[in-house]
Structure 1
Amino acid sequence: MISALILVAQPDEPEAVEQLADTLTALVDGVAAGLVADAVIVSAKGSEALETIADGSGAALVVSGAESPLRAAARAARRDWLLCLEAGDLPREGWIRSIDRFVGTARPDVSLARMQRSRAKPNDRLRSLVEGLIGVARPRPGDLVRRAALLAGSNLVPRRRPKILAAWLDRA
């Protein structure tokens, strides 16, 4: 089982709240399949709307302040593997099987996997190519990372090459 960490960059924007609701709704299939155990909503600042959504969905709400949002959320997560998402990320069909297979077979020294984005920007494609060659300095939304690696520091040291999953993310 995994924990889902959902970043909300603009908690005061109505569109961001709608995107958060879309992402939480998309994770329901993972909960039903027994893959997603809990969800943590994280933002640099809190809002009444985030509190309402967290309370209604059973997710934990973390206000990170100046700390790294993913690291703050990792402390509240309950599972060893963390799926990092942004509000508005929607996993495509087949994501449950792909992540479940990876988590079940990953060697102990493997700490990072990456979902693919369906509409990546040209800069994202270039960054992915470079990271594939030299490794990843820190996780980003769409990554599946071990909790211990995320809590160990702000960066993944040493740099890790991500395992590319046969799972895709769309945007709401």
Structure 2
Amino acid sequence: MGALMLSAVTYLADPADPDAIDRLADTLSVLVSGVAGGLIGDAVIVTGRESEAAAAIADATGATLVLHRGASPYAAGAAVARRDWVLCLEAGDVPAEGWIRTLDRFVGTARPETGLGRLHRPAAGWIAGLVGRIEAVLGARRARPGDVVRRDALRAGAVFAPRLKVRPLIARIDRP
């Protein structure tokens, strides 16, 4: 395993929704195994408005809480992320068995010109699946949940210019 190679950035769309807070807790609890495995070095929670519940979870887990009102929550999270690679998640995303090994291998072997790695998200729906297939051919213009992308690419803006090549990864993200 590598030495703390990723920052996990989790987007919480609606912090006023108690179910969303529960989903955030589910996501962060799975990331603990990535911390123990030496893959996840820090966590960032990005939300569009202030929330005592989100602040409490961030405080309890040691995550950084970022308020964001722009085009890309992942770019906002990358601005405070401390690692070279960022794992983009939505509250409720639960990486399935094998994700640590898959991401460790991807990040450990990625060349500087490597675009991004994308975890399979079967629960995302058919439209997201179609967009994913198109981006696999044309390249990605922005980060999506399930992407592993260099922090510098995210910091450069909400839209990737030029498009980043998408490398599908064998691990998947479930949504309980």
What's the counterpart of residue 42 of structure 1?
A: 46
1:159 pairs with 156, 160, 163, which one?
163
Aligned to 1:73: 77
Give the share of equivalent positions with the same residue, in percent. Answer: 52
Could you give the per-residue CA deviations for residues 105-150 of structure 1, whole angstroms, max 9, x where no partner exists? 0011113110001334121221111111111110111000000011
Name the residue aligned to 1:21.
25
The residue aligned with 2:35 is: 31
**Corresponding residue SS for 2:15:** coil
The equivalences for 1:18-167 within 5 A come to 18-66=22-70, 68-167=72-171
Matches of 1:134 and 1:65, distance apart in 2: 28
Q: How much has 1:67 moved relative to structure 2?
A: 5.2
Secondary structure (helix, strand or coil) at the match of 1:107 reads coil
In 2, Cα distance between equivalents of 1:132 and 1:71: 21
SS of aligned partner of 2:42: strand
Tell me: CA distance 1:67–1:123, structure 2 relative to 1, closer, same or farther (3 Å).
closer
| Distance (whole Å) between structure 1 residues aligned to residue 63 and residue 95 of structure 2 | 18
Give unpaired runs (5+ residues) of structure 1. none
Amino acid at match of 1:27: L
| Secondary structure at 2:123 match in 1 | coil
Map Cα deviations across residues 75-105 of structure 1 (whole Å, 9 max, x no partner).
Answer: 1100000000000000000000000001000
Normalising by the residue count of structure 1, what TM-score does the alignment of the two structures yield? Answer: 0.97
Q: Distance in 2 between matches of 1:11 and 1:67?
A: 18
2:12 paired residue number = 8
Per-residue deviation at 1:46?
Answer: 1.5
Residue identity in the other structure for 1:85: L
- 1:69 CA displacement: 1.4
Matches of 1:100 and 1:8 in 2, distance apart? 25
Q: CA RMSD in A?
A: 1.0
Distance 1:34 1:11 in 2: 29
| More divergent stretch after superposition (68-77 vs 43-52) | 68-77
Cα deviation per residue 1:36-66 (whole Å; 9 max; x = unaligned)?
0010000111100000000000000000123
Secondary structure of 1:76's aligned partner: coil
Q: Would you identify which runs of 4 or more consecutive aligned residues in structure 1 move more than 6 Å?
A: none
Deviation at 1:161? 2.2
